[in-house]
Structure 1
Amino acid sequence: MKRLILLLVLSMCISAVYSQWVQLSTDFEPNYSVIAYDSMVIVDVYSSDNYDLAISGDAGVTWNGSNPFEGSSGIIPLFAGKDWVYACTRNGVFRSGKASLSWSSYNEGLPSNIIRLVGKDSTLLAYNSHNLFIRHLADTSWLALPDNIPQDFISGLAYDGSTIALAGSNGVCDSDDLGASWNVWQGLQFTTGIVMIKGDTIIHASPGGVTSKLISSGTIANVSSGLTKLWTPPPGWDYYGTFEAFHPIGDNIFLCGETGVYKLNDQVWHWGQTGLGYASALTDNGTSLFAATGGSGIWGRPLDQLILSATELYHESGSIRVYPNPASGNARIDIVLSEKQAMSLSMLTLNGQLVRIVGAGTLDKGPHSFEVNCAELSAGVYALILRSVSEFTAMKLVVQ
């Protein structure tokens, strides 16, 4: 009975600390694009209610409809830069300062059918189905990049200040000279998708899974571990559904699409499911992650419950030690208690999901050992949480 009570208390503590996604609004759905900064959250409204946007000034608690683009119906991709926010509408590209939300046309030199806009520092890139355009914030107009893109149409764009990556009808291509020349990836299935750039790595997600390319070496690898596989059609390709958006936060990468929202553990290239069903866009304001989910509205979840970073976890501490670490077979966990007390030792994913309770009960003062069979676990990084009356200690266990 005491053990049952302890397990229930532990479960309640985990639920309280690792909260789940919360639905913030369905008043202005469906929503397919979202941006956030400070306490502001802005989403597009794809409906016949004569609203272009829904805006919250209190991090999603209350919402108001807005019509700054004269009822520009359809999906409105949004982008947030350092000081400005941008909207790609059927009536052209609009820009507003973050502080005032006063929108004005930002179309000089652009055609009217811009699909999406991305940026890095003071440089913006925009694209329509077939062409790329560039503009520096100090410029007075957009300029077209060379018309030599090896794509029949573009489905995704990424830019990090030196490299451009495109996804489209012919797979993925990248350029390190602002589009003067392109490197085309070979051997991809289900080619159309989305792309992002993180350091020396370009990442592409499509219904065939996720693929990475090291820019420095050109090495291409499939990195789909952890993604939900929907089916395997002939001739044996894996099918993971549609992916809609990447969202980087520091060293962390989130990915959303048909099967939910994932977080990448790039130490072992494993995607962890954080919840939700279909999601079309992600953003954050530094404290919460927000997801646009089409007809299910806007959802949010605290970032500190989604990101348990390596700086918050230690291979060893004064009271807990794991070896071997990384592990692929049995891992031994040693703990030291300063006095006889009730304790619990639990294993969680970095998304806050309980994997197992390694040990729980009242133990004597001194050293104690536990064993975990890592062969039963998926590859990835896990958090070991030691709770007792006198302390709370967290450290990481890497499973290969």
Structure 2
Amino acid sequence: MTDLEAFLSGRIWLREFMPFPKGQVDEGINCGDITVVQGITADRTCARCLESSPQHIHSFSCAKCEGICFYCRHCIQMGRISSCTELVTWASPSHTPQQSHSFSWNGRLTPLQLQASEKVSESVKNRKSHLVYAVCGAGKTELLFRTIHEALQSGQSVCLAAPRVDVVLELAPRLQAVFPDTVVHTLYRSAPAQTGRASIVIATTHQLYRFQNTFDLMIVDEADAFPYSFDAALERAVLKAKTPEAPIVYVSATPSRKLLKEVSDRSEIFERYHGHPLPVPVFSSLWGYRQSLKKKRIPVKLAKWVKQKIGKGEPFLVFMPNIEMIDGAIGLFQELDSRIEAVHSRDSLRKEKVMGLRNGRCTGLLTSTILERGITIPNLQVAVVGAEDSVFEASALIQIAGRAGRSAEHPAGDVTFFHDGITREMDKAKNMISNYNRRKSY
């Protein structure tokens, strides 16, 4: 298998941005190995993201073709697609090299995990989609190992997709450690270049725009998360990226009603792998906290909470409703401890800062909802400032609470919702967590 074939097999890529010499690509086109596809089809559909809505497909006067062209605004951040741009795909049969896929995991599944793992495996063998409905900290990733290994042993390609880059970054080293001899690619915006033909691809759902008819097993982790749950184009990307007969395994702690209705094969786990209950949030009033922060004062209750965690040497996350509040408050928190950092979606160093919290270099993080998922740190404590804000829906609050108490050594973390008035979403989140702790799993 040549490097060009390894790169392009299963992908659909902008011809002008191919990371190979133009002559090599042209030669592949001339000999029929590579197919050229119009960027915007005749019916005004984007060939990459399959968007066709007039809201996203716009016309413009094109100097290149001296006429009116159409371009796709929906996936423009991945390189502009227009009527006169070309996408390329590998047309010839792909020569997948033989690979050995060792399985290196010394852990042991709980009876509930084992039962769920067997159900997932059975569904996949029958080419049926499956929903793993399991609470935060139930060990959802571990129960997928068997199914992934079975697919690899059968020579199949596997994709594990997630809406958030932080989840992808958390999953990648874990999967590579379990399958040390397998070529694993991790794809997200600004990811480093990776070579060879991957048997496992771990990617943000946006990256699936660049694949078609590729994966024999598709796993969608955090299937309820934004933006996947709000963007039909991302759902189409998942369907386009897999082979027509490939099943989808959806994984979620808070699945939508739509997902619960659509996927009949299901396994449910309502307790954590270590057997301890989920931490139930405590509501704590923080009247006028916005005004206090604007006046450059940390409310007394919040400052006390932070000082307590620092004093005990417990890592912590303080969630805030928006980036402006985080940026305005970080200086105040650093007066309590200079090792506190702030992280949000616009922060290019967020990966490094999360690692700093993990290794103890950082005592705590002020953060937005980007860290509501995909972060597992022992003995982590959690607070939400402004839990009444509309950005904190019940599902988000449940995920945030799920960051605490995840390790067997520290199963009872502190989850405090600081608020300026209790909302229905807060009550819903607390009640659902309490219900999970009472329910039987099967």
User: TM-score scaled to structure 2, two decimals?
Assistant: 0.20
Greater relative contact order, per chain length (Cα 8 Å cut-off, separation 6+): 2
- State the TM-score, normalized to the length of structure 1: 0.21
The structure in which a higher percent of residues are strand is 1
